[in-house]
Structure 1
Amino acid sequence: MEKMPIAVQVYSVREEAGADFAGTMKQLKALGYDGVELAGLYGKTPEEIRGWLEEADLTPVGAHVPFEELDKDLENTVRAYHSIGCSYVAIPAISEDRRYGGSRYEEFLAAIPVIAGECRKYGMKLLYHNHGFEFEKAADGKTPLDELYASQSPDDLETELDTCWVKVAGEDPLGYLEKYRERCPLVHIKDFIRDDGVKLVAVGDGVQDIRAIAEKAQECGAKWLVVEQDDHIFGSPMENMKKSVCYLRSIME
């Protein structure tokens, strides 16, 4: 496959970033990453974050921003991430009452075009990042993730497909990449094993067919592969981030 830019979701190294954001960014660059997807600002200003990313020569691809933050202070929140240089704002998860069939689901759907419109003012796009619950069939037999995207214009909402949780839910990551072809600019690359439950591991160390996923993501129009590992049972965060990016680079040679 052709080379693709690789970013890391900063949540993967959240403790390191919280202790020394600037130093952590330089370490990630040295490991071979091209960009980062933010997960909060760690009490720093957007100007500080942008400066440290520029020093490290890392592209601020986007950010996971809780729906509650966007709902509470939309204009200032979007402006802050735009000032850092982000191209994408991703809703990382939603509360149970805002999920399909919940008491605030319709309210959530109505808010999406409003948030997307604010993002467009700054040349940014709104994404939704899935977990596993969106694939659990509702009482009416429908799949919540598909219902969410069917309810919204692609101009208002694109997907940040987390291919790990697709697989964990018993679905096919390649099939979902195809389903949302040209609507999935960022793809989360995450690996796991099944050992008394789901355990996350470095990319290439688990059951995922990473090469096939990366190739399909590229074919379907993805702009970035984003490595994410929520926890680190085996090895340290930086060790796993190194293994992950090295594995991805190896399949692009």
Structure 2
Amino acid sequence: LFDHSAEEVKKICAEVGVDPISAHVPYDELDADPEKTIAAYAEIGCKYIAIPYAVEERRPGAELFNDTVEGIRRFAAIGKKYGITFLYHNHDFEFKKVGDVYGLDLLYSTLTPDELQTELDTCWVNVGGEDPAKYVEKYSGRAPVVHLKDFHMSGKGKPAKLYQLIGIDDGAQDAEEEEAFGFRPCGYGVQNFPEILEACKKAGTSWVVVEQDQPALNKTPLECAKMSIDYIKEINK
């Protein structure tokens, strides 16, 4: 919360008219003091807490995966007391196979829907090689929040240092890689959002959230957000 109290954040959200439906909270922050952390987000008014990223050793098939699963079970049990549902926010690395299944599917087959719901990031599903609309439908009844994110990617293939764009240090990204991949406002990239929104309706999704990790097209972050929201409203009339 960047040194703000839950009470302060709740007040700020009310003042600017933001409905704080969900928050991304790192696994280690939850693990350090789950009761206190979950209680704070409940006070703000969040209905969902999403684990936003898995470090390599905690990913499906890795050495700490079982420990991570048990941690999520513990968080989910505490979350129930506060009316908070836990989600997991995917990237593309969960679309590597562990045995015969994707890591993402292994995670959701290991934990029950009562313990963990999806927060499918449609950009990363696509970058991972799958159809976002079909993946949303695959998790019908387990996809309460879906992230709508657009992007462009050239035919050169996926950049090696992709996560530099979302603030994760995987080495400096060179100009060629930066040109090969970039985030875009919704409707200005490659995603088929009419299909994705239809899939969300079929899946029983409660919230779709516009996400863009970096501004683009010489626009500010808020200008990009407005472009995305205007586009989504237009195609969802």
- Residue equivalent to 1:44: 4
- Structure 1 counterpart SS, 2:43: helix
Mapping 1:77-116, distance limit 5 Å: 77-116=37-76
Deviations 1:37-85 (A, max 9, x none): xxxx222111111001111222111100000011111000000000000
My pick for the range that moved more, 193-202 or 155-164, is 193-202
Q: Select which of 208, 218, 228 maps to 2:201.
A: 218
- Residue equivalent to 2:215: 232
- Residue equivalent to 2:123: 164
- Residue equivalent to 2:228: 244
Offset, 1:233: 3.3
- Residue equivalent to 2:185: 202
- Structure 2 counterpart SS, 1:110: helix
Offset, 1:137: 1.8
Offset, 1:204: 0.5
Deviations 1:110-134 (A, max 9, x none): 1111110010000110000000000
Distance 1:93 1:86 in 2: 19
Offset, 1:94: 1.1
- Residue equivalent to 1:121: 81
- Residue equivalent to 2:104: 145
Deviations 1:151-178 (A, max 9, x none): 0110010000001100111101111111
What is the aligned length?
A: 212
Offset, 1:142: 2.4
Which residue identity lines up with residue 58 of structure 1 in the other structure? V
Distance 1:89 1:174 in 2: 23
Offset, 1:197: 2.6
Offset, 1:212: 1.2
Which residue identity lines up with residue 46 of structure 1 in the other structure? A
Identity value in percent: 43
TM-score by length of 1: 0.82
Distance 1:145 1:52 in 2: 35
Maintained 8 Å contact 2:134/2:199: no
Maintained 8 Å contact 2:185/2:216: no
In structure 2, list runs of 5 or more residues that go unmatched.
155-178
Distance 1:123 1:64 in 2: 16
Distance 1:152 1:49 in 2: 31
Distance 1:220 1:47 in 2: 34
In structure 1, list runs of 5 or more residues that go unmatched.
1-40
TM-score by length of 2: 0.87
Structure possessing the higher relative contact order (Cα contacts under 8 Å, 6 or more residues apart): 1
Deviations 1:86-122 (A, max 9, x none): 0000000111111122111110111111110010000
Distance 1:242 1:233 in 2: 13
Tell me how large the CA RMSD over aligned residues is: 1.0
Offset, 1:198: 2.1
Distance 2:129 2:112 in 1: 27
Distance 1:208 1:51 in 2: 36
Q: Which runs of 4+ in 1 moved over 3 A?
A: none
My pick for the range that moved more, 52-61 or 160-169, is 52-61
2:13 counterpart of 1:53: yes
Which residue identity lines up with residue 225 of structure 2 in the other structure? M
